[in-house]
Chains A and B, each alone.
Chain A
Amino acid sequence: GAVVSQHPSRVICKSGTSVKIECRSLDFQATTMFWYRQFPKQSLMLMATSNEGSKATYEQGVEKDKFLINHASLTLSTLTVTSAHPEDSSFYICSARAAASGGLFSYNEQFFGPGTRLTVL
């Protein structure tokens, strides 16, 4: 239980194009999903918090018009990197928090996806 998937796992794109990354909770409903960015040999930096059916909350310094987040259902959130540039190349990781506690799932715990490596040429 508590599996979070991301698609694609790896993407290479040209500068100026947009890239969409999907995050899915496979066996539980997630009211909240989080998007992180991890630079090589560094820690995870929270980019934004996504709540189902409402606008995402972005961390300071993260451009909301560049990193579009949509959380249309309780099992899916998407991150779209618009007009990508080489400096956007990074490892993007999502996590999901269960809608309720019970069984394997704790409301206070986040389950992480495997990450998406974005390379912008």
Chain B
Amino acid sequence: AQSVSQHNHHVILSEAASLELGCNYSYGGTVNLFWYVQYPGQHLQLLLKYFSGDPLVKGIKGFEAEFIKSKFSFNLRKPSVQWSDTAEYFCAVKVSGGYNKLIFGAGTRLAVHP
């Protein structure tokens, strides 16, 4: 069965530190990849997505992610985090076929200290 794993469950950083959150998926076919963010008390928002083309994807708020097909990975990065980036981050994969449902990772809770 398809699955998504996020390696870091909790990450604590100071402002201006660099961020990288890992995401690996298990599926051998065509995938669409997403990173969502959930700020405290708010609903899920799309940070960025990869469908095809350039494997380095730039999203909102200075986030980017790189799709490495050979590693089945889609890691999220930000060179310098801010306190306002404190949130939970979810990696998700949409596999081809069927109703194109999303499979979510367990999430990574990021806390940024001023």
B is bound to A: yes
Binding site for B on A (CB under 8 A): 32, 34, 41-46, 49, 51, 57, 93, 95, 97, 106, 108-115
Sample of 17 further A-B pairs with CB below 8 A, known A43-B106, A112-B45: A34-B102, A42-B107, A43-B90, A43-B107, A44-B90, A46-B101, A46-B102, A46-B103, A57-B99, A93-B44, A108-B32, A108-B100, A109-B34, A109-B49, A111-B46, A112-B36, A115-B43
Q: How many residues from B make CB contacts under 8 Å with A?
A: 22
Question: How many angstroms from the CA of A108 to the CA of B109 in the assembled complex?
Answer: 26
Q: Which residues of B contact A43 (CB under 8 A)?
A: 90, 104-107
**Could you show 16 A-B contacts with beta carbons less than 8 Å apart?**
A32-B100, A34-B101, A41-B109, A42-B107, A43-B90, A43-B104, A45-B104, A46-B103, A95-B44, A97-B100, A108-B51, A108-B94, A109-B34, A112-B43, A112-B44, A112-B45
Check B70 for interface membership: any CB of A closer than 8 A. Answer: no
Name the contact of B99 in the complex, choosing from A45, A51, A106 (C-beta under 8 A).
A51
Interface residues of B in 75-114 (CB under 8 A from A): 90, 94, 99-107, 109
Smallest Cβ distance from B76 to chain A, in angstroms?
15
* Chain B residues within an 8 Å CB radius of A109: 34, 46, 49
- For the complex formed, measure the closest distance between the CB of A106 and the CB atoms of chain B, giving whole angstroms: 8
Q: Is the CB of B104 within 8 A of A49?
A: no
Cα distance A110–B107 when bound, in Å? Answer: 18
User: Complex Cα distance A49/B98, Å?
Assistant: 10
B79 to chain A, nearest CB (A): 26
